[in-house]
Chain A
């Protein structure tokens, strides 16, 4: 068996399908594209596929990764062409690479995500005003996010949810203005993802609203993932960069 690591897009209408939908869609696409994918053993065989993270519904991305295994070594260009031919608009494999089987799983190596986040303010914004807000926000030592942990044990009589407080400041690696047009502001964020914690851009926006009093129309916020990273220092490395 051979392992292929691929980077793909999830944009357009495909942002509205969930991670599980995507997994099913790919399984069927492999079959239609005649990709000799390997299956798990057991009563309910599944194609061997692993992803870096599960992208939430509504988030677009040009930096998603998956590892798959195939039974026979096919040409990478053929693999990409056959798959892209059967994938719907909005899903596209952009790079693929054979990697050794002893590479660590995508999920365990990912540490950061970079995003662009479009935020619509209630009024026109000036760049220095927004910069100022971000600066103050980043100078905070503590940014506390309160998380309600749902009690999953249904046999327990108490339905009290556990409440967790978490300082998310350290999970924000970078936060800056990318561009501004009238009341539309595009922010760029570099946030912890995967093994180093999981911070969603939506949470950062929520905190900006709560703490800095940002006057925005939250339902118009749009999140786009640019890249998933394994390392950011001394330089940024993607899962494809480090794989052998």
Chain B
């Protein structure tokens, strides 16, 4: 393979450091004849992709294998893409600067639905056919993984292999199988048929979908025997013994999350009914304090980072959080290493703990009540009261904080105007709380930021059957809040709902959508998650051209007996559980945290055998 000459281009494009590939702790291997080349692609720009934990884990993990060389690829930004096309430069891997069309594997991580067009665009920039059926044994094998693959159907026709669940083990098994076939005679067809027998591996081309006349699915079956009709996700059972990198690449650029990431646990026991992550990442598995302390030391010394983030779905639920934070402060505050706790819950976060942390570095406070009224918070099983919020903010104001962000969702099932006005009431109460705080205690310049995100019903949540609000209705509700939230010190943020609409199409879509994605890519749709690039009218015309109504996927209430596009995937949480939760939601009945009381979701039956 030839190294691509980039030097002259680097002088022309914005932020050339995106394409250097030689950052601290990046891996550069000598390429031998038998080296298995793996292009790990992130379908967004460098700054976004370099913030992603899964890539850090798999990159370093795969590179521990001697004959495997895993390299990074990000979506080139628009200016770089133009230069590449102009100079006939195909998509290349950052480290070796070699074209990825000659690699053995091209892997993509699917973090959000609006990056799907970027995947197709990157394959096309690489010079690799986008459809699996058009790729021969000479082309790289295209693997998709990540959270969006729990409903992989809209993008299934483009994938050779889809990895379901946590990839640390199954990725290695796939490489082993590939190495075996490379030595004994490889054909894509044979390899895929064998791969489909590995737990956690879904080969879409080996399954047939049939539809009713109304567009819903009538059957989904394997085309051959010996492969499962229901594909189970993979999990890593013991996090202390699972691979975790001891070093991380330190980008030159200021990326979105530019810090050491310490993953403290996987899964979440809260059972919020809108939350896909809370369902699909079950069961809960913690890393031990000892292991985390050891990793923190190695990661901080090898990177020199000034900040360490304790990552999980709900970090204040980590059972050893106090001890861990104490340890990190004792060890590293002399080097001014700050600690960030990204996902704290209002009801159990300890202000004393935060104050300790903020002695090193001070940041704003962010809470997510998700809904404005107690009734709606009960519907979504958030299990959080107004008292929790008031107590937490009161303490925060009294300790000198003056900047609070509150996150809400808009368009949750059963939401009424009253619930929306509840958001306003909460916001105003928070403002009043600030001014009730004695002047000598509180800080200066109060800032209350209210953000609403449009609710997107996701697969494998109790709300997977529910429609999303129409665009008009979302717009009306946003305007209502905008009017209501006009007050000094209060800022209201909301997004254009059109991106959420599109997200909802692909979150719960089926294989018929591959046509739409192909057309959209041809029309030049890319970076759809970026407001400056998102072009809704293009999408509208693409849906029309494909003869597909997006409303069918977004605004239609589905029945419990409908075959859902993702029903052939087994995440451990049973359909009966999801139905039960949806019914309880309608009654506003709470389900307890599963640390307190097992909710019988099913994860302990097929995956761990016993108690979580």
Specify which chain A residues have a CB less than 8 angstroms from the CB of B254 in the assembled complex: 20-21, 24
B558 CB within 8 Å of chain A: no
The complex places the Cα of A89 from the Cα of B22 at a distance, in Å, of 10
Tell me, rounded to whole Å, the shortest Cβ–Cβ distance linking A40 to chain B: 10
With A13-B20, A219-B12 given, is the CB distance from A28 to B250 under 8 Å?
yes
Specify which chain B residues have a CB less than 8 angstroms from the CB of A159 in the assembled complex: none
With A21-B254, A45-B361 given, is the CB distance from A39 to B304 under 8 Å?
no
The complex places the Cα of A90 from the Cα of B360 at a distance, in Å, of 32
With A17-B252, A24-B254, A25-B252 given, is the CB distance from A31 to B22 under 8 Å?
no
Please pick, from A16, A43, A86, the residue contacting B17 in the complex, using a CB distance under 8 A.
A16
A197 CB within 8 Å of chain B: no
- Interface positions, chain A 19-60, Cβ under 8 Å from B, are 20-21, 24-25, 27-32, 39, 43-45, 57-58
Tell me, rounded to whole Å, the shortest Cβ–Cβ distance linking A28 to chain B: 3
Please pick, from A13, A24, A32, A43, the residue contacting B22 in the complex, using a CB distance under 8 A.
A13
Decide: B336 and A32 in contact? CB cutoff 8 A.
Answer: no
B291 CB within 8 Å of chain A: no
Specify which chain A residues have a CB less than 8 angstroms from the CB of B304 in the assembled complex: 27-32, 86
Specify which chain A residues have a CB less than 8 angstroms from the CB of B12 in the assembled complex: 219
Decide: A44 and B362 in contact? CB cutoff 8 A.
Answer: yes
Q: Mark B288-310, 1 if CB is under 8 A from A, else 0.
A: 00000000000001111110000
Please pick, from A88, A220, A222, the residue contacting B24 in the complex, using a CB distance under 8 A.
A88
With A27-B306, A31-B304, A32-B304 given, is the CB distance from A21 to B336 under 8 Å?
no
With A39-B336, A45-B361, A88-B22 given, is the CB distance from A28 to B306 under 8 Å?
yes
Q: Mark B1-37, 1 if CB is under 8 A from A, else 0.
A: 0000000101110011100101010000000000000
Kindly report which residue of chain A lies nearest to residue B18, judged by CB atoms: A16
The complex places the Cα of A45 from the Cα of B360 at a distance, in Å, of 8
Tell me, rounded to whole Å, the shortest Cβ–Cβ distance linking B159 to chain A: 34
- Interface positions, chain B 340-376, Cβ under 8 Å from A, are 358, 360-362
With A44-B361, A44-B362 given, is the CB distance from A16 to B10 under 8 Å?
yes
The complex places the Cα of A28 from the Cα of B20 at a distance, in Å, of 19
Please pick, from A39, A57, A86, the residue contacting B16 in the complex, using a CB distance under 8 A.
A57
Decide: A32 and B303 in contact? CB cutoff 8 A.
Answer: yes
Kindly report which residue of chain B lies nearest to residue A90, judged by CB atoms: B22
Kindly report which residue of chain B lies nearest to residue A44, judged by CB atoms: B361
Tell me, rounded to whole Å, the shortest Cβ–Cβ distance linking B578 to chain A: 45
The complex places the Cα of A89 from the Cα of B306 at a distance, in Å, of 22
User: How many residues does chain B have at the interface if contact means C-beta atoms less than 8 Å apart?
Assistant: 27
Specify which chain B residues have a CB less than 8 angstroms from the CB of A57 in the assembled complex: 16
Specify which chain B residues have a CB less than 8 angstroms from the CB of A219 in the assembled complex: 8, 11-12
Q: Number of contacts between A and B (CB, 8 Å)?
A: 60
**Nearest 7 Cβ contacts at the A-B interface:** A28-B304, A43-B362, A32-B304, A31-B304, A16-B16, A17-B252, A21-B252
Specify which chain B residues have a CB less than 8 angstroms from the CB of A45 in the assembled complex: 336, 360-361
B416 CB within 8 Å of chain A: no
B253 CB within 8 Å of chain A: yes
Specify which chain A residues have a CB less than 8 angstroms from the CB of B253 in the assembled complex: 17, 21
Kindly report which residue of chain B lies nearest to residue A89, judged by CB atoms: B22
Partner-B contacts on A (CB < 8 A): 13, 16-18, 20-21, 24-25, 27-32, 39, 43-45, 57-58, 86, 88-89, 219-220, 222
Specify which chain A residues have a CB less than 8 angstroms from the CB of B8 in the assembled complex: 219-220
B137 CB within 8 Å of chain A: no
Specify which chain A residues have a CB less than 8 angstroms from the CB of B549 in the assembled complex: none
Specify which chain A residues have a CB less than 8 angstroms from the CB of B252 in the assembled complex: 16-17, 21, 25
Decide: B20 and A31 in contact? CB cutoff 8 A.
Answer: no
Tell me, rounded to whole Å, the shortest Cβ–Cβ distance linking A89 to chain B: 8
Tell me, rounded to whole Å, the shortest Cβ–Cβ distance linking B595 to chain A: 35
Listed by A's residue number, 27 A-B pairs whose Cβ atoms lie within 8 Å are: A16-B17, A16-B20, A18-B15, A18-B17, A21-B17, A21-B252, A21-B254, A25-B250, A27-B304, A28-B24, A28-B250, A28-B303, A28-B305, A28-B306, A31-B335, A32-B301, A32-B302, A43-B358, A43-B361, A45-B336, A45-B360, A57-B16, A88-B22, A88-B24, A219-B11, A219-B12, A220-B8
Specify which chain A residues have a CB less than 8 angstroms from the CB of B336 in the assembled complex: 39, 45
Tell me, rounded to whole Å, the shortest Cβ–Cβ distance linking A145 to chain B: 22
Specify which chain B residues have a CB less than 8 angstroms from the CB of A88 in the assembled complex: 22, 24
The complex places the Cα of A180 from the Cα of B303 at a distance, in Å, of 44
4 additional contacts (CB under 8 A) given A21-B253, A27-B304, A32-B304: A17-B253, A21-B252, A45-B336, A219-B8
Kindly report which residue of chain B lies nearest to residue A222, judged by CB atoms: B11
Decide: A58 and B11 in contact? CB cutoff 8 A.
Answer: yes
The complex places the Cα of A89 from the Cα of B123 at a distance, in Å, of 32
- Among B12, B304, B362, the most chain A Cβ lie within 10 Å of the Cβ of B304
Kindly report which residue of chain A lies nearest to residue B336, judged by CB atoms: A45
Specify which chain B residues have a CB less than 8 angstroms from the CB of A18 in the assembled complex: 15, 17
The complex places the Cα of A131 from the Cα of B469 at a distance, in Å, of 72
Specify which chain A residues have a CB less than 8 angstroms from the CB of B20 in the assembled complex: 13, 16
